[in-house]
Structure 1
Amino acid sequence: MELKEQIQPHAVLIPVPFQGHINPFTHLAMKLASRGFTITFVNTESTHERIAKAHSHKDDDNPFSHAEESGLDIRYARISDGFPLSFDRRANASQFMIGLTHVFQAHVDDFIENLVLSKPNPPVSCIIADSFHVWGSMIAKKYNLINVSFWTEPATALTVFYNADLLKRNGHFGRHDKYDDTISYIPGIQAIKPEDLPSYCQDADPNDIKYVFKCIEDAQKADIVIGNTVQELESSTISALQEQQPFYAIGPLCPTNFTKKTISTNLLPTTDYTNWLNNRQDGTVLYISFGSLVNLSKQDILEIAQGILISKVSFIWVLRHNILVSGERNILPLGFEEETADRGLVVPWCSQLAVLSHPAVGGFLTHCGWNSILESILCKVPMVCFPVIGDQLTNRKLVVDDWRIGVNLCTRGLIRREVVAENIGKIMNRSDESRKNIDKTKMLLQNALSDEGSSDKNLNQFIQDMKNKILQKN
């Protein structure tokens, strides 16, 4: 047996402490552990407390305890993010992000140092840090570890960031007024409009731009970049990335072992919303959710709600206690819930996968978070797209323009209730083109994950390359 086959890598996984990043990191941990890795998974104390409360866990519970029962070597750790547990991270987002850049880095450094000095068996050999951390390369170099950057968004967004200098030279960086231009000079991207660039390349807050591009600069220093995407979904873009550094598409990193018919009995315990869905005809319910970090204005909520009234569609709407731009709490129009009581359900939280997988659900009104898009594809649910920030704008382009598995909620952020109703109607029409296309897109994802599929091959190649690099360091 070759020496590299005898190596058991020990990887420390550190996601950004937001649920949309933690979810794919969790599935990555399980995948790597099932391939013989030892995993040390690092969560922040505040994230652990929030997840534990949501799942009624005790404070000392290990969310990977079920993995241990399966013989997987996943070790769970919690460290401070530099703020007290009582600190409102959402309401003080800018301060929190600054802390992640500086204070959290020091806590990670201390943790890695103590872990390395403790001489675990097997020894720590690599760090897999979220690409939205700015310190992965520094810590990896300090402790002589393989530096892997995990990109949790589509490869298209990463390619845009990698080519920001091209945007600047051509006058498209930070210019939100050039909507009618077509950008065709980014390697691997045939054509993209300025309005479809990630918001950080448009007119976002300068502090946000500075932080994001520090992250990108650090990702470019990584030994390997892995992405939560599929080769066949973004083939030309991924090929362009691979010319710059090793990049492996190993997605989708989300649950895949379910079907429409097993959800209400096998995946999760019966809940009020699954009971409600069980009493609806197949394909008739619109699921509405804008994620946990998206802020909507009161006017946005009003127009969407009125559009739903006009469409007369059945729906389940997740309305979290989001803070609005105006500082108010999300509120629906007076009488909305009473008027839709026979066909609608408003909930503060639900299991998105449970809802999307339910046979009653026929459409998804979404903010276009990347995890939401992948889950929607796997569940064969076409989308009504309402992106707000970050990569969501680019994700919308992929869904609507490239893959044709969804429609826009509105044009350029201007929400009108009549247009909302019209586009909801397009998706809920079961003969819509997007419904046929999403069947094909799901097959791409399933084939990629199958034995000898592209994601399976890429994961194996990533593991072999990492073992080679570990040998070289030793």
Structure 2
Amino acid sequence: MENNQLQKPHAIMFAYPLQGHVIPFVHLALKLASKGFTITFVNTLSIHHHIRKSQPSSADSNIFAGARKSGLDIRYMTISDGFPQGFDRSLNHDQFMEGVLHVFSSHVDELVGKVVHSDPPVTCLIADTFFVWSSMIANKYNLVNVSFWTEPVLVLSLYYHLDLLRKNCHFASQDNRKDPIDYIPGVRTIEPTDLMSYLQATDNISTVVHRIIYKAFEDVKRADFIVCNTVQELESETISALQQKQPIYAIGPVFPTGFATSMVPTSLWSESDCTQWLQTRPHGSALYISFGSYAHVSEEDIVEIAYGVLISGVSFIWVLRPDVVKSDETDFLPAGFEDEIKGRGLIVPWCHQIAVISHPTIGGFLTHCGWNSILESIWCGVPLLCFPLLTDQFTNRKLVVDDWRIGLNLCDKKPICRREEVAEKINLLMSTGDQLADELRVNIKELKGTLKNTLTTDGSSEKNLNQFINDVKTKVQRRLG
């Protein structure tokens, strides 16, 4: 037993197979490995294939090769998600999610069984909160069960208290209440329209995504620890309320502080280099536009935004994934748009986002409100124009626009988005000397300072991470004893 207690902690990590989840998982793996953990990081074969395909110049199939060369003990494995390589997971979303719900756990079980007796033995499971099997796997192999939440704690708390939303008929009733929600512990009054998109549904609440949510957020209540990619100072009330129920640690932002270049590739697409274009523009003059790695946008909205960008006259970089409307529809921009924007706009299929928004040329970010994008924008001091599309993005928008006042709504009367309003909001966000725009910049500069302070030696996130590591080690020793 003495030898066991002296062994390094060894965590096996399973990221949810979406880029927005893989990125913080990779960053957490690097953080824990730098603090003495052995890590076995598991990607699905599909995610691995996309990352490798996006890095044609790299000969190494281990995405953590660079991290290992720098002395970090990170092992890398891949696992089947139950579907063949050529299966279009985006086009067949529901079928894919059914596989994640019902089939994936058997592959996880088999893999954990093979590696649990490695040297050093696996002692800890770190799985995305949206997985439904974490407690089952952890119990079977006597592992400390850690749930990693990659979104704001506000979103976690709303899912965590689904029973209260049901009981009060704000969710899953025949006619959901429209009045404000004021009974979730640690959550200030919130409008039903600010709930995650899946909780706003009124017609079909038995979809595969709903079934995953119901099961995952019962399972998370059995976790030994919950770690969150958020900041104590930004969500203190909500975190404190949840801490009454379970050990929860705000350790964000988990990205490395020198993160414009990463030693671990995580992009699912080849990245265009925008540096040359950025260097030809005045500081603060260009708008960055991206709708993330996953959500789809209607063709009507794309067209209205495109015309709004044209009318605004602002310089811009627009990341337009080929599948942003649908994976089988790639011709969605207005006729002649690309000719019209020559000289002031750059359209790319994908880019290294942080390298772009950290450049002084970028003065604003038109975003879908993904949580990674919001944290990166705060870190770079870039105010936001919010266009939420899916899931947590509607709740994230509330934090950005209503609570922290670091951004504006792109369309105040969604779902209808009109080009004139798009142009007006872009010009407002990018203006200097306007009272509201200046206030946004002051607020985001303040939050930027808060984020940077949390990662210092005495910062809340650094202290919480160290406390989490100590608590995991204590729990492991008790189990071994």
| TM category, shorter | over 0.9
Separation of aligned partners in 1, 2:422 and 2:172: 29
Relative to structure 1, the CA distance from residue 445 to residue 175 in structure 2 (aligned partners, 3 Å threshold; closer, same or farther) is farther
SS for the counterpart of 2:254 is coil
Deviation at residue 91 of structure 1 after TM alignment: 0.8
> What is the TM-score when the length of structure 2 is the normalising length?
0.92
Residue 425 of structure 2 aligns with an amino acid whose one-letter code is N
**Secondary structure class of the residue paired with 2:424:** helix
Q: Check 1:175–1:413 CA distance in 2 against 1; reply closer, same or farther (3 A cut).
A: farther
Closer, same or farther: CA 323–438 of 1 in aligned 2, 3 Å: closer
Partners of 2:272 and 2:118 in 1: CA distance: 42
Q: Are 1:126 and 2:124 matched, yes or no?
A: yes
Identity across the alignment (%): 56
State the Cα deviation string for residues 169-222 of structure 1 (Å, max 9, x = none).
222115798796222211111111100011111106531211112111111110
Question: Kindly tell me: are residues 176 and 152 of structure 1, through their superposed partners in 2, closer, same or farther at Cα, counting changes over 3 Å?
Answer: farther
- 1:136-161 CA distance string (max 9 Å, x none): 11000000000000000100000001
Change (3 A) 1:84 1:48: same
Residue 266 of structure 2 is matched in structure 1 by: none
Change (3 A) 1:223 1:258: closer
**Residues 349 and 326 of structure 1: CA distance in aligned 2, closer, same or farther (over 3 Å):** closer
Distance (Å, rounded) in 2 between the aligned partners of 1:80 and 1:326: 22
For the residue of structure 2 that corresponds to 1:28, the secondary structure is: helix
Give the 5 Å matches for 1:23-34. Answer: 23-34=23-34
Partner of residue 215, structure 1: 216
Could you say which structure has the greater relative contact order, defined with CA pairs below 8 angstroms and 6 or more residues apart? 2
Contact 1:286 1:428 in 2 (8 A): yes
How high is the TM-score relative to the length of structure 1?
0.93
Identify the residue that residue 358 of structure 2 maps to in structure 1: 357
Match of 1:182 in 2: 180
Structure 2 gap ranges (5+): 263-270
One-letter code aligned to 2:133: W
Q: How far apart, in 2, do the equivalents of 1:51 and 1:352 lie?
A: 16
* Structural mapping, 1:282-301, within 5 Å: 282-301=283-302
Q: Secondary structure at the match of 2:473?
A: helix
Alignment-derived partner of residue 369 in structure 1:
370
Report the equivalent of 2:447. Answer: 441
CA contact (8 A) 1:4 1:468 kept: no
Aligned to 1:68: 68
Contact persistence 1:7–1:467 (CA under 8 A): no
8 Å contact kept, 1:179–1:195:
no
Note closer, same or farther for the CA distance 1:184–1:45 as it changes in structure 2 (3 Å cut). same
Distance 1:174 1:353 in 2: 39
Conserved in 2, the CA contact under 8 Å of 1:155 and 1:234? yes
Cα 1:284–1:188 change in 2 (3 A) is same
Q: Distance in 2 between matches of 1:186 and 1:315?
A: 40
Counterpart Cα distance in 2 of 1:336 and 1:162 = 45
Q: 1:266: which partner in 2?
A: none
One-letter amino acid of the structure 2 residue matched with residue 427 of structure 1: L
* 1:416 maps to 2:418: yes
Corresponding residue of 1:338: 339
**1:46-195 to 2 correspondence within 5 Å?**
46-56=46-56, 61-116=61-116, 119-174=117-172, 181-195=179-193
Shift of 1:328: 3.5
User: Over the residues paired in the alignment, what is the CA RMSD in angstroms?
Assistant: 2.3
The 3-state SS of whatever aligns with 1:12 is: strand
Task: For structure 1, list consecutive stretches of 5 or more residues without a partner in the other structure.
Answer: 264-269
Map of 2:466 onto structure 1: 460
Alpha-carbon separation, structure 1, partners of 2:248 and 2:289: 34
Contact persistence 1:52–1:59 (CA under 8 A): no
For 1:383, give the aligned amino acid.
L
Distance 2:427 2:174 in 1: 30
Partners of 2:448 and 2:174 in 1: CA distance: 33
Question: Which residue number in structure 2 is paired with residue 430 of structure 1?
Answer: 432
CA separation in 2, counterparts of 1:277 and 1:350? Answer: 13
Number of residue pairs aligned between Structure 1 and Structure 2: 464
Provide the residue aligned with 2:265 in structure 1.
Answer: none
Counterparts of 1:232 and 1:4, CA distance in 2: 37
